[in-house]
């Protein structure tokens, strides 16, 4: 059976003067309609690059060096520029991180919505405007009629992100890629936006890829997650299972470092060290210099994703026998 989106062995590189840097190193995942996938990781893990690769909108000098991205049965990276344009914003919509930067400051909201509709549908401006109004109502924008004639700077961050989501919905896409959609917003606004995204995904029958560094957000919204580290997926599977029983030492570290798992006043856990830069990714398992379970074999060979927990979960680690022990998680009672 074919999925809505299939990513197979994707390889993304950045062509630099002194040679190519590998940003995404052979990742694979898939997604269906109405399904919600979270991609989690630290800054520099390659989450956003993955998102942009799906619509082949990598900033130069990034390029897709290998692998396949198949969307609705079509190979994205083989499409012509025009065919790709017809998919972007039409079948696949993106939501960016910072709503203060996403909307063009010198064009009205109405212009920016109408042009999106008319880039993909043969409709009059009036019809496009009606559609824009309808979508603004869907994202609970008060007095949408007035908003259409306003400029982005006349609105708050949360309001702008709702408008960005409304723009993403305009053409009834099959897939929405949300790249850190709430990171730039106040915590109180975050929950509302997340709830809205989850709800829309169900009512509009869309697939959702939620890219974030925030495990708590992912666990609220998504059914499956993929944890990325240094351009690779190191653990993937059902969100509930992974949050309850993470098997990769990195995921264990991420969950342990959530403030929710700590008693008030006690020191927060952290994973020692830093994510390696792309120019110096360690041999073998990229995580071994920071790993509390590192063994000689971790330095020698890169581990493959291995099914665990009845194949509801996959982890890429040589020491899976060690990570099965439940006492590795600091506190199992108050996790998100």
Instruction: Using CB under 8 A, list all residues that contact other proteins.
Output: 55, 57, 59, 85-90, 93-94, 96-98, 101-108, 115-116, 119-120, 151, 153-154, 164, 167
Cβ 118 to other proteins shortest distance, Å = 9
Closest approach, Cβ 95 to other proteins, in A, equals 9
What CA–CA distance (Å, rounded) separates 204 from 131?
Answer: 15
Least distance from C-beta 141 to other proteins, angstroms?
A: 18
Q: Which is nearer to other proteins, 101 or 268 (CB)?
A: 101
Q: Report yes or no: 176 and 207 within 8 Å, Cβ to Cβ.
A: yes
CB atoms within 10 A of CB 16: 11
**CA–CA distance, 16 with 179 (Å, rounded to integer):** 25
Smallest distance from other proteins to CB 150, Å = 9
Q: CB-based contacts of 17: which residues, under 8 Å, 6+ apart?
A: none
Smallest distance, Å, CB 85 to other proteins? 5
Nearest residue (CB) to other proteins, 93 versus 256:
93
Residues 199, 163: Cα–Cα separation, whole Å: 16
Task: Rank residues 96 and 287 by Cβ distance to other proteins and give the closer one.
Answer: 96
Q: Which residue's CB is nearer to other proteins, number 91 or number 288?
A: 91
CB 207 within 8 A of CB 34: yes
Sheet holding 207-212, edge to edge: 92-95, 175-179, 207-212, 36-40, 224-229, 232-238, 313-316, 305-308
15 vs 107, which CB is nearer to other proteins?
107
CB of 88 to other proteins, least distance (A): 4
Report the alpha-carbon distance of residue 184 to residue 108 in Å, rounded: 22
In Å, the largest CA–CA distance within the chain is: 67
């Amino acid at each position: 059976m074919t999925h809505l989106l299939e990513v197979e062995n994707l390889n993304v590189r950045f062509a630099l003067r002194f040679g190519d840097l590998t940003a995404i190193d052979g990742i694979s995942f898939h997604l269906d309609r109405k399904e919600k996938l979270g991609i989690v990781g630290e800054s520099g893990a390659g989450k956003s690059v993955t998102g942009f690769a799906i619509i082949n909108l990598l900033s130069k000098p990034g390029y897709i060096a290998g692998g396949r991205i198949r969307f609705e049965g079509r190979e994205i990276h083989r499409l012509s520029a025009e065919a790709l344009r017809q998919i972007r914003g039409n079948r696949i919509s993106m939501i960016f991180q910072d709503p203060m930067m996403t909307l063009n400051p010198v064009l009205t909201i109405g212009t920016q919505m109408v042009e999106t509709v008319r880039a993909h549908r043969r409709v009059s401006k009036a019809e496009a405007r009606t559609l824009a109004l309808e979508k603004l109502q869907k994202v609970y924008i008060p007095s949408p009629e007035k908003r259409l004639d306003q400029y982005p700077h006349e609105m708050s961050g949360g309001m702008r992100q709702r408008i960005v989501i409304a723009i993403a919905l305009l053409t009834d896409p099959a897939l929405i890629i949300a790249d850190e959609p709430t990171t730039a917003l106040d915590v109180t606004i975050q929950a509302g936006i997340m709830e809205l995204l989850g709800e829309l995904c169900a009512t509009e029958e869309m697939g959702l890829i939620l890219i974030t560094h925030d495990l708590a957000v992912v666990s609220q919204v998504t059914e499956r997650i993929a944890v990325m580290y240094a351009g690779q997926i190191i653990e993937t599977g059902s969100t509930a299972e992974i949050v309850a029983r993470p098997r990769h030492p990195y995921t264990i570290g991420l969950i342990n470092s959530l403030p929710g798992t700590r008693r008030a006043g006690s020191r927060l856990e952290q994973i020692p060290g830093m994510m390696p830069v792309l120019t110096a990714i360690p041999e073998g398992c990229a995580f071994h210099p920071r790993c509390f379970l590192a063994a000689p074999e971790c330095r020698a060979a890169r581990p493959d994703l291995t099914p665990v927990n009845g194949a509801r979960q996959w982890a890429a680690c040589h020491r899976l026998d060690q990570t099965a022990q439940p006492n590795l998680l600091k506190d199992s009672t108050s996790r998100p």
